[in-house]
């Protein structure tokens, strides 16, 4: 087959380091009957070793040429190729107990992570390669510079672990940044959750809209309706000082005070 030219519009950087590939597959530890979904298979660096571990693999590839290559290379009973944008895919149509993996394009990583949150009940785990600074934000603790909206939203739904870094030279073409691999495991049904997922998202976004300001200033009129002492948060605190549990308490307090509407109990 002719050499495929990486396309900037798709954020393509193809993994070429077999040692990194082996490390990712070891971390996933796929079993024969697992329902594994690979996002962005590209030139099959991960696809090939994953197929050695599972009976059937589903891949989602936005690039029409690469999707056609994959369909020609592997029989349909071994590899199901979905030629589509992962941001538009209804993952509930792919079954349950899903294990999702991928070397994600940096330009869609955050939107895709939020898209997948809607399907967390159907997912066993997720293993992604992303820009290292994004993963550092995902796993950051309160009162650190990396802690922000992404940290709170994802930590409210997943237990996350940064596994290892991946240098630029592991890719062709090499990106200008260091990458890393993260494991994401959805939290169980009995996890702490807000009265409304939509209200929680709104409160977190507003709280971090001006992260250098005190929370009461960021929240504006909402702040006047919060019994700060009751929820155990100082009104002089900044958003980066609040834990996920604090944000849940703050959201619920605002809902009970009638300051913010919601979408009913959180089902996500």
Tens digit of pLDDT for each residue in 168-207? 999 988 888 999 999 999 999 999 999 999 999 999 999 9
- The whole-number pLDDT of residue 266 equals 41
DSSP the chain: -PPPPP-GGGT--EE--HHHHHHHHHHH---TT-EEEEE--TTTTTHHHHHHH-S-EEEEE--HHHHHHHHHHS-TTTEEEEES-GGG--GGGG-SSEEEEEE--GGGHHHHHHHHHTTGGGEEEEEEEEEHHHHHHHTPPTTSTT-SHHHHHHHTTEEEEEEEEE-GGGEESPPSS-EEEEEEEEPPTTS---S-HHHHHHHHHHHTTTTTSBHHHHHGGGGGG--HHHHT--TT-BGGG--HHHHHHHHHHHHHTTSS---SS---
Region of poorest pLDDT, from 1-5, 158-162, 231-235: 1-5
- The whole-number pLDDT of residue 262 equals 72
Quote the radius of gyration of the chain (alpha carbons, Å). Answer: 20
Residue 1 has pLDDT above 80, yes or no: no
Across residues 133-155, what is the average pLDDT? Answer: 97
- The whole-number pLDDT of residue 235 equals 86
Tens digit of pLDDT for each residue in 37-78? 999 998 888 999 999 999 999 999 999 999 999 999 999 999
Single out the residue of 162, 163, 149 nearest to residue 239, CA to CA: 149
- The whole-number pLDDT of residue 263 equals 60
Across residues 82-108, what is the average pLDDT? Answer: 94
pLDDT band, residue 107 (cuts 50/70/90): confident
Q: What domains can be seen in the chain, in order of their start residue? A: 8-186 (3.40.50.150), 197-256 (1.10.8.100)
SS3 7: coil
- The C-alpha atoms of residue 14 and residue 174 are separated, in whole angstroms, by 8
């Amino acid at each position: 087959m002719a050499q495929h030219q990486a396309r900037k519009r798709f954020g393509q950087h193809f993994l070429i380091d077999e040692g990194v590939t082996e490390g990712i597959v070891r971390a996933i530890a796929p079993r024969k009957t697992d329902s594994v979904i690979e996002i962005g298979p590209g030139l099959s660096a991960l696809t090939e070793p994953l197929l050695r571990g599972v009976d059937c693999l589903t891949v989602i590839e936005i690039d029409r040429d690469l999707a056609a290559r994959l369909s020609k290379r592997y029989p349909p009973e071994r590899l199901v190729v979905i030629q589509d944008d992962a941001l538009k895919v209804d993952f509930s149509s792919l079954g349950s107990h899903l294990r999702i993996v991928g070397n994600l394009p940096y330009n869609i990583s955050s939107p895709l992570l939020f898209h997948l949150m809607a399907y967390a009940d159907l997912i066993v785990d997720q293993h992604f390669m992303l820009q290292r600074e994004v993963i550092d934000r995902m796993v950051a603790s309160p009162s650190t510079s990396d802690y922000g909206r992404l940290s709170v939203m994802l930590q409210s739904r997943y237990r996350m672990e940064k596994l290892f870094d991946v240098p630029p030279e592991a890719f062709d073409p090499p990106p200008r940044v260091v990458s890393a691999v993260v494991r994401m495991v959805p939290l169980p049904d009995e996890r702490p959750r807000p009265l409304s997922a939509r209200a929680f998202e709104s409160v977190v976004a507003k709280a971090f809209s001006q992260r250098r300001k005190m929370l009461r200033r960021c929240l504006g009129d909402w702040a006047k309706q919060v019994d700060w002492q009751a929820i155990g948060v100082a009104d002089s605190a900044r958003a980066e000082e609040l834990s996920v549990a604090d944000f849940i308490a703050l959201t619920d307090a605002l809902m009970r005070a009638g300051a913010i509407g919601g979408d009913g109990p959180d089902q996500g």
